[in-house]
Amino acid sequence: MLSEESFHRAYSLLRKVQGDRAASELACCQFRRTLADTVNGEWTNAIAAVDEEEGSAQSVLTAFDEALNIVGHSYERFKQMCTDETQVPELCLQIKVVIFPILVPKLLRVLERVFQVGFDVYSKLQGSAHFGEDQSDACHGCGKELSSCCCHHLLQLFRSIIEKMARLHLLDRLANHTAVRVAFGTVEKKVKNVYISGDFSSSHLDDLVRWLRGALLPWLGEMCANSDALHRQTDRLEAFLFDSVGRRLISQLFDIVVDFPDSSPALQDLATCLDRALLRAHLTDSLQRDVSQRLLHIGVNTDDVLNAYTSAVKSLRILDPSGVIMQAVCQPIRQYLRNRTDTVRCIVSFLTDQRQDELGAELCKREGLALDDPDADPDDVDDFDLSSQQDWTKWSPDPVDAPVDDSRRSRRSADLISMLIGVYGSKDLFVKEYRQLLSERLLKSRDHDIDAELRYLEMLKIRFGETELQQCEVMLKDIKDSARIDDFAAQHQNLPFPVSVRILSAHFWPKQRDERLTLPDALQLGLASYNQRFQMLKASRTLEWIPSMGSVEVQLEIDERDVILTVSPALAAIIWLFQEKETWTTDELSARLTARSSTVRRRAKWWQIAGLLEQRPAGSDTWTLCSSAPSTERMQAHAETADSDSDDEQSRQESDVDALEMYWTYVSGLLANLDSLKTERVHSLLSMVSSPGQQGPTLETVNAFLQRKVKQNLLIFSAGAYKAPRK
């Protein structure tokens, strides 16, 4: 490289002798050598200083502006020497040839920081910087306190940097690429900040689109002088925004589904993204994985699984009206529910516990009846039914991922109740379980108000028909008639104590628990008086009492204070006997009440926990009244824990075991012909011979049934298998 003095002499001589072109070529060569020295020395240090700068936004822009001035001064000086204008592009080429190989990695990092600061300042002045950012006292643009904001100055400095880069012809090849990369990174960060809180009760997609079009794209427009390039980047950024929002919401979709309907705004955002981005397969795979890991395991209650299932049915309808995603996600849940023993009961409880307006809306969807019949052929139904013809403008084809062997109409018209009943494929099982639950609710109710149950029943008739629910209708009529008979008995005879009776038509009610129990004489006298009143009204009939059911309101006199408790007849009978003497053994109580010793012992322990009885000596079968009276609060709190819950469950289990007695001949025949059978094999065989449409016995019920036969010496249990005894 020539010295400065030698270069000027040579430049002047060439210009005189060979003209402007030769002199301009010399200037270009000298510029390249000068620029190389500058880049390797002063400019490299300046760029490194910006790269390592951890200060404010102002310091970053100022340092980079000074670095550009170093190259800019040399460029302007040599540009003036290039009197041949055709050599000016050569100067710009020399800048790229020298800078790019040496500084591109570090320069790109610096440019990203510069452009990020430039956008933050621009966005703040446009009034959109606060959207999706944490609220703080610092300016979101320059980072200073609001009282010391210098965003206007920094924006001018940033635009000055852009102008200098444009003059050096660095904008198209270097800055535009960096600006686009910053724009994509900014979109990703903005989406993350907006949805990081987990609040799905508000829609943010429209705000994000307005932010993109009102802040990011105008800023990017200042970088892209080429309108075609800007248009391409606009389309790419909008597509990237919808893709980013969609993926962010898909990663939280399980929580969104569980929170439905509160999360409806977030679902609407995701539905819009699905229309603009190819995310269906990713959504299905992600949600199936979350459902499997977070829902379908033994630690989740069946009620919670059902709640999640119904939320999935409703929410995925919003995302995909075709029902394809819903079927793919819900099928594993249905399969899992089939393997739970309490699913049917939970389904019935779930449906009948809903608010009437919700249940009524679902029950009135008569098009869902197509799914209620498992034998119906979906191909027999024309997709273009009357309702479709009336609204044909909204028709849309199935998505490409729809199964080819699936019924379009059944998938699109499936309502919640149809899908819940479809878990077992039989509405007969649903009606049977509803009848059982209705029986329990009516018998546990302490009044005769059946208006709510009547309304539920009328709505259920819409779906299941009157014939299937005729027994339930009789049950409600029995409760209504019982109230009338109660009034008649109270008016025509002075009963020894108030009596309210549920008179059941045994043929129409589920089989009730009939535990052996002899009530005290005083209680039997009151019931006999009531029976006389009933026979006056119904001359040809009499009442057959079920003494183990119902409730008794007892008044206990303890230390000159009265405590009123509502307990079961068995509990009342036990404490009644302690009026005769203070100490009883379990066997004495069992003989007096003609009840099983285990039942008496369990009821006596209930009074022990309440604080009225104690075992003397401890752990024995002798019960005596406590010497110190318990507090009223303790007794009333304990009375709220009904002792009948475990009995109801035990009775249900015994009833299920009793139902298997009809298969004993079949089971004994199998064991006579085979050496032995394990419980699982017997369970499988009994499930195969169960009535169609009925839920088969559970493994626990089959095991209890076989154990009963062992106790009856009808089977032998050995080495984990059952076999018939040798004769």
Q: Tell me the DSSP string of 500-517.
A: ------TTTSPPPP----
* Residue scoring higher pLDDT (561 or 175): 561
Give the CB-side neighbour count of residue 205, counting CA atoms within 13 A.
25
Task: With CA atoms as reference, report the closest residue to 270 among 294, 252, 285, 295.
Answer: 252
Residue 479 has a CB neighbour count (10 Å cut-off) of 20
In this chain, the answer to whether the domains covering 552-642 and 649-723 adopt an identical fold is: yes
Mean pLDDT (whole number) for 497-509: 85
User: How sure is the predictor about 54, in pLDDT bands with cuts at 50, 70 and 90?
Assistant: low
- The DSSP symbol for 41 reads I
Q: Confirm if 289 and 326 have CB atoms less than 8 A apart.
A: no
pLDDT given for residue 371 in this prediction: 39
pLDDT band at 36 (very low <50, low <70, confident <90, very high): low
What token pair was written down for 626? 């406590």
User: What secondary structure letter does DSSP report for 519?
Assistant: -
Q: How many CA atoms lie within 13 A of 206 on its CB side?
A: 4
Grouping H, G, I as helix, E, B as strand and the rest as coil, residue 220 is: helix
Q: Which amino acid is at 470?
A: Q
Residue 375: its pLDDT value, please? 42
pLDDT at 256 over 90: yes
Cβ atoms 724, 664 nearer than 8 A: no
Give the pLDDT score at 52: 59
Region of 619 (left: φ > 0; alpha: ψ -120 to 50; beta: rest) is: left
The predicted pLDDT at position 48 comes to 61
User: Do 157 and 65 touch, CB atoms closer than 8 A?
Assistant: yes
**DSSP category for residue 383:** S
Range 388-402 average pLDDT = 59
Give the pLDDT score at 374.
40
* 420 vs 313: CA distance, rounded Å: 10
**Integer Cα distance of 80 and 74 in angstroms:** 10
Check whether domain 649-723 has CATH 1.20.200.10, yes or no:
no
pLDDT of residue 236: 87
In this predicted structure, what is the pLDDT of residue 44?
59
Domain boundaries, the chain: 170-297, 552-642, 649-723
pLDDT band at residue 372 under the 50/70/90 scheme:
very low
- Compute the chain's Rg from CA coordinates: 42
Q: Is the pLDDT of residue 212 over 80?
A: yes
> pLDDT tens-digit profile of 454-486?
888 888 887 777 888 889 999 999 989 888 888
Amino acid at 150: C
Three-state DSSP state, 557: strand
The helices-and-strands tally (H runs, E runs) of the chain is 33, 7
- Cα distances from 415 to residues 362, 366, 480, in angstroms, run 7, 9, 33
Beta partners for residue 718, in sequence order: 721
Tell me, rounded to whole angstroms, the distance of Cα 43 from its chain centroid: 57
**Architecture (CATH level 2) of domain 552-642:** Orthogonal Bundle (1.10)
pLDDT at 270: 92
Contact 330, 313 (CB under 8 A): yes
pLDDT of residue 385: 47
Q: Specify the 3-state DSSP secondary structure of 554.
A: strand
- The pLDDT value given to residue 414: 56
Average pLDDT over residues 62-71: 68
Neighbours of 155 (CB within 10 A): 19
Single-letter amino acid code for the residue at 123:
S
**Res. 382 pLDDT band, cuts 50 70 90:** very low
Tokens of residue 113, six digits:
């920081």
Question: What is the distance, to the nearest Å, from the Cα of residue 325 to the centroid of all Cα atoms in its chain?
Answer: 15
* 688-695: Cβ within 8 A, 24+ apart: 689/663, 693/425, 693/426, 693/428, 693/429, 694/426, 694/428, 694/429, 694/432, 695/344, 695/424, 695/429
- Is the pTM higher than 0.85? The answer reads no
What pLDDT score does 200 carry?
Answer: 86
Task: Determine how many CB atoms are found less than 10 A away from the CB of residue 44.
Answer: 17
14 pLDDT more than 60: no
DSSP assignment letter at 384: S
CA distance 377 to 366: 17
The whole-number average pLDDT for the span 571-588 is: 89
Question: Which structure tokens are listed for 698?
Answer: 């559970």
Instruction: For residues 163-189, give the mean pLDDT.
Output: 76
3-state secondary structure of 583: strand
Q: Which of 63-67, 94-98, 179-183, 371-375 has the lowest mean pLDDT?
A: 371-375
Tokens 């509160």, residue located: 262
606-640: pLDDT as tens digits = 888 888 888 888 778 899 988 777 777 777 777 66
Give ∠ CA 633-634-635 in degrees, rounded to 5.
Answer: 95
- Does position 181 have pLDDT exceeding 80, yes or no? yes
Which amino acid, one-letter code, is at 270? L
Report the percent of the chain where pLDDT is more than 90. Answer: 7
Nearest to 666 by CA among 655, 682, 680: 682
Strand order across the beta sheet in which 622-625 lies? 583-585, 622-625, 613-615
HEC string of 102-153? HHHHHHHHHHHHHHHHHHHHHHHHHCCCCCCCCCCCECCCCCCEHHHCCHHH
Q: Which helix (H) or strand (E) holds 306?
A: helix 302-319
* CA-to-CA separations, 58 to 123, 162, 164, 496, in angstroms, rounded: 16, 16, 18, 94
Residue with tokens 């390249």: 32
Range from 150-164, 167-181, 297-311, 409-423 that averages highest in pLDDT = 297-311
**Do the Cβ atoms of 696 and 687 come closer than 8 Å?**
yes
pLDDT at 540 over 70: yes
394 has a pLDDT exceeding 70: no
In which element (H, E) is residue 567 found? Answer: strand 561-567
Q: Give residue-wise pLDDT tens across range 670-680.
A: 888 877 888 88
Closest CA to 592 of 573, 607, 609: 573
> Looking at per-residue confidence, does 154 or 72 come out higher?
154
Instruction: Return the pLDDT at 230.
Output: 65
Query: Which residues are 558's β-sheet partners?
Result: 561
For residue range 414-453, what is the model confidence (pLDDT) as tens digits?
566 777 776 766 677 778 888 888 888 888 887 777 888 8
> What is the distance between the alpha carbons of residues 364 and 59, in angstroms, rounded to a whole number?
68
Quickly list H helices, 583-698.
Answer: 586-593, 597-610, 632-639, 644-659, 664-673, 679-689
Q: What is the per-residue pLDDT across 311-331, written as a single tens digit (0 to 9) for each?
A: 898 888 888 888 888 888 888
Specify the higher pLDDT residue, 641 or 356: 641
Average pLDDT across the chain, whole number: 75
More confident: 538 or 132: 538
Average pLDDT over residues 569-598: 89
Peptide linkage before 261 cis (omega within 30 of 0): yes
Give φ, ψ of 75 to 5 degrees.
-65, -45
Report the 10 Å Cβ neighbour count for 124.
21
What is the DSSP secondary structure assignment for residue 498, as one 8-state letter? -
pLDDT average, residue stretch 91-104: 58
Rounded-to-integer distance, Cα 222 and Cα 23, Å: 37
Is the pLDDT reported for residue 589 higher than 70?
yes
Q: Phi, psi at residue 568, to the nearest 5°?
A: -75, 160
Dig out the tokens for 95 from the structure. Answer: 């800048």
Answer whether 24's CB lies under 8 Å from 83's CB.
yes
Percent of all residues in the chain with a pLDDT value above 70, rounded to a whole number:
65
Give the model's pLDDT for residue 287.
Answer: 93
